[in-house]
Each structure stands twice: as structure tokens, then as C-alpha cells.
Amino acid sequence: MSLRLPRRSSTGRKDATRHALLEAALNVFGEKGYHGAAVDDIVDRAGRSKGAAYFHFPSKAAIFRALVRELANQLVNSIQRKMDDVDSPAERLDAALLGLIDVFVRHRSLARIVLIEVAGAGRAFSDDLIFVRRQFADLIERELDRAVEIGAIPPCDTHLIATAWFGALNEVAVHWLHDPDAGSLHASYPSLRQLLLQSVGFSPAEVDRVPLHA
Amino acid sequence: MSLRLPRRSSTGRKDATRHALLEAALNVFGEKGYHGAAVDDIVDRAGRSKGAAYFHFPSKAAIFRALVRELANQLVNSIQRKMDDVDSPAERLDAALLGLIDVFVRHRSLARIVLIEVAGAGRAFSDDLIFVRRQFADLIERELDRAVEIGAIPPCDTHLIATAWFGALNEVAVHWLHDPDAGSLHASYPSLRQLLLQSVGFSPAEVDRVPLHA
DNA sequence: AGAAACCGACTGACCAGTCGGTTTGGTGAT
DNA sequence: ATCACCAAACCGACTGGTCAGTCGGTTTCT
């Protein structure tokens, strides 16, 4: 149902509890937001006790932080794997974009947390906010650099562009999160893809190629 | 110092207090975030009393909402005015972009509230979130539609693109808000401009034109 | 036995919102 | 010009509810 949060050893009671807590946190934070969620909510949903929560994590903030970091790593790895299945820069960027959209659609709570809650939880979390966003942006930046290197696109400020790309996807996703009926995320993909690829000067031939996965 | 929040009549004691409260709210919410700010903080900063605050607004949420709406309207009007000074679509979009960047740089609290806090304040505010973002996106969308109409750019999904554009700017601004020393917002503008204009297929001649205001 | 893991009632701090009381400014009667 | 009066505007101590974090005690594993 939800992304596999890492379960360190397969049998330990300790890890099972930690995992249950994080999974509950994912849902509760996703539904009620960081401030709207009480530690008791998470604990109840996990079928554990407050004592257990504070045995594993020093604070509510630490639960949130751990969750965000693990979600981000998990997500980035999964996207990276999808990118490595193909070779041309345009296809790899495609894979990243589609992969992100896929995961968001399937795991709405995750999307809410990664895209909205981290930003809104407060300044105390701004390092985490930047950490997450950079993870994604770096993924894109590396690909753009590669595309520049092999001459698929002209040289440009790939760092800024990667940031802007993520922002564009983020904004579209935020609107979709607010009103899922307004239009599926997947439906926006072709326009978004065209917009982004064109923005860095991919050749029209590459841009026009119909994506395989749609 | 701060944007002029509307002061309805020039002399009324009532309006002066309302204005003082909103101005204080702008700073306090901008610094501590919605949840981190106590009504007492706002009241203290405004040099007023809690009674006055609850005489003017029914709740803390209402203060926030009123502030967000007024900031958004103020901002959109100011941008619109700047756009109307020029004529060609590319220039008008330029003016919008630069205007937004200008205001954000000058009024960091405003930027934090409009770009981050509204999103993070919780689901209760998601209507306000969408309201604000749509205001900006509509501004851009109208211009894009105009550009399509006169044949400056090919037909495209202007609604989606406007959303994506705002997201791109938003993301760059969020990083800048987190670490202002990392690079000024104005410095990012040329790359961003090029990226966005190119993304919708403006002719290279239009894209390459060096902006007047830089 | 001893330690690691877990339980859940309790506490203390915080804070949105209330309310009885006070000040201020306007209006009109004298 | 003075005063009486009223309502709008304002004050700030207080209340009630919420919730993060604690801690003495229990269970489970080795």
C-alpha cells in the first residue's frame, strides 16, 4: 500500500515498532499536517503506546524528520532506478518526471508531506526542506549536465533550471492535491513534458517523440 | 517599509488599529510562521490589546486570512500596473516576473507568507492557498493567451503553463528565502527568463533581447 | 536475573478565545 | 461652551482545552 520504509532487520520487534510508527506517521501527517497531528494520533494508528514512540524518537519533530528523510531517500532511489533503465537524456528525464508523478498519484500522503508539509512545518525544518528539494533537483541537474556534455542541449545554468523544473512539477501537483477531480496528474504530463524539454532547448524531434510509458 | 495595506479611511481610529494589527501580523507571521505566532505576539507588536484584535477579527485564522487576501490583491494590482506600462507579450511577462521578484526581495515577510505559510498553515487554508496562487497564475495565463492570439507563440495549454511558471519562480524564491546569501534573486532572473520564455516557444529574437530593467 | 522494549496515566506549559470593565469620541440638549 | 449620555472601540486578567513530553511500572527477550 505504502512505500516500503526500510525495515532494518526482518524479524526484530524493535524495528517492527519503529516501522509501524513511521508508517502511521506517514498517514497521520499526510492527513492532518504536522501541526494538526498529535503524537497520540500517530501512536494510536500504529497500535503502539506513547512510551514506545519516545523510546524510538526523542521528540515529535524527530519522528517527522526521520520520516521525511527516509521518504526522500526511498523516492530518489526508486526514481534513479527507473532512470537507469534508459539511456538518452530526454528519456531519462522523462522517466524521472513520470516516476515522480506515478509515486505522487499512488501515495498521496507522501506527496502532501514531501511537497507541502515540509515547507509549512516551520523554520525549524527548513534544513530538511532544502535537503529534500535538493535531492530531487540534484537528480535532474545531473541529467541536464549530462545532456549538455553530449551536446543534446546548449550550455545553461543547470542548477537553477533543475530547481525551476522541480518547482513547476511541484506547483502542478499542489493544485492536483487540492482538487484531485480537477484533472489527473497524468493528464498534465504531456504538456508539462513538452514545456520542460523545450525550455532547455531540446531539439523538436526529441520533444515531439511520444513517451513510451503514457 | 512594508506594502501599503489598505487603510480605509484616512483618519478613523478603528482603521488605524486594524491596519496596525495587519501590519504586525505580516511581520510576526512572516518571522514565526502561522503556528509559531501567538495572537499575543501580534497584539504586542501592534501596541494594541487582545480585546482590540478580537473586536476586529473573529479568530486568529481570520486575521491570517484577511492578511493573505489583502497582500495578494495588493500584489496582483501592483504587478498588473507594471505590466500595463508595456505592450509586447514578452515585455509584459518580463514585467510580471521582475515585479514579483522585486517585491519579494523588498518584503521578505510577505514572500514567506504568500509562498510558504499559506501552503503550510493547514488544510483549513487550502482555499486561500489556491486563491492566492490562482491570482498570480491567472495574471500570467491571460498574457499567454494574448501571446497565442497574436501569434507570438504557438497554441498551448496556457492554464497549465501559467501554473508551472509560477511554481518555477516559487521554488527559486523558496531556496533564496532559505539562504539569501547563496545568490540574489535578481541574479537568477536572466536564466529564469530565458528558461520560461523559451519553454513556450517565443522566438529566439524575443528571448535574447536583454531586458530593460535589469 | 537483567536489560531492552513498551505501557499509559499524569503534568506543566502554552495559547486561543472570553468577558466584565474602562476609555474615547460623537451628539444633542441646555 | 458645558455637560450628560451612549455606543463604539479598546483593555488585559482569566479560563478551559490541548498536547508534548515524563516516569514509575510492566512485559518480553536473552
The architecture CATH gives domain A61-208: Orthogonal Bundle (1.10)
What pLDDT does B116 receive? Answer: 92
CA gap A143, A151 in Å, rounded: 12
Provide the CB-side half-sphere exposure for A32 (13 A, CA).
14
CB A113 within 8 A of CB A42: no
B10 touches strand C (CB under 7 A): no
Give me the mean pLDDT over the A105-122 stretch.
92
- Listed range (A106-115, A145-154, B8-17, B91-100) with the worst mean pLDDT: B8-17
Q: A74: closest CA among A145, A149, A155, A135?
A: A135
For B137-189, write each residue's pLDDT tens digit. 999 999 999 999 999 999 999 999 999 999 999 999 999 999 888 889 999 99
- Picking from B64, B101, B175, B208 by the largest number of A CB atoms within 10 A of its own CB, the best residue to mutate is B175
Å from the B14 CA to the D1 C1' = 28
Give the residue extent of every domain in chain A: 61-208
Å from the B117 CA to the D13 C1' = 31
Q: What is the mean pLDDT of chain B?
A: 91
User: What whole-number percentage of chain B has pLDDT above 70?
Assistant: 92
Give me the mean pLDDT over the B91-95 stretch.
93
Partners of residue A161 in chain B, C-beta under 8 Å:
191, 195
What pLDDT does B147 receive? Answer: 96
What pLDDT does B4 receive? Answer: 61
In B, minimum Cα distance to A171 occurs at B167
Q: How many CB atoms lie within 10 A of CB A1?
A: 6
Instruction: Report residue B8's pLDDT band, with 50, 70 and 90 as the boundaries.
Output: low
CB-based contact (8 Å) between A36 and chain B? Answer: yes
Chain C footprint positions (protein CB, under 7 Å): 4-10, 14-21, 24-25
CB-based contact (8 Å) between A133 and chain B? Answer: yes
For A23-68, write each residue's pLDDT tens digit. 999 999 999 999 999 999 999 999 999 999 999 999 999 999 999 9
For A67-105, write each residue's pLDDT tens digit. 999 999 999 999 999 999 999 999 999 999 999 999 999
- Tell me if A36 and B156 make a contact (CB, 8 A cut-off): no
Q: How many CB atoms lie within 10 A of CB B16?
A: 15
DSSP secondary structure letter of residue A163: H
- Tell me if B178 and A33 make a contact (CB, 8 A cut-off): no
Of A120, A175, A195, the CB nearest to B117: A120
Q: What is the third-level CATH fold of B65-208?
A: Tetracycline Repressor; domain 2 (1.10.357)
Partners of residue A175 in chain B, C-beta under 8 Å:
130, 133, 163
Which three cell numbers, joined as nine digits, stand for A102? 506515478
What pLDDT does A180 receive? Answer: 81
CB-based contact (8 Å) between A120 and chain B? Answer: yes
Of residues A8 and B1, the one with the higher pLDDT is A8
- Tell me if B199 and A201 make a contact (CB, 8 A cut-off): no
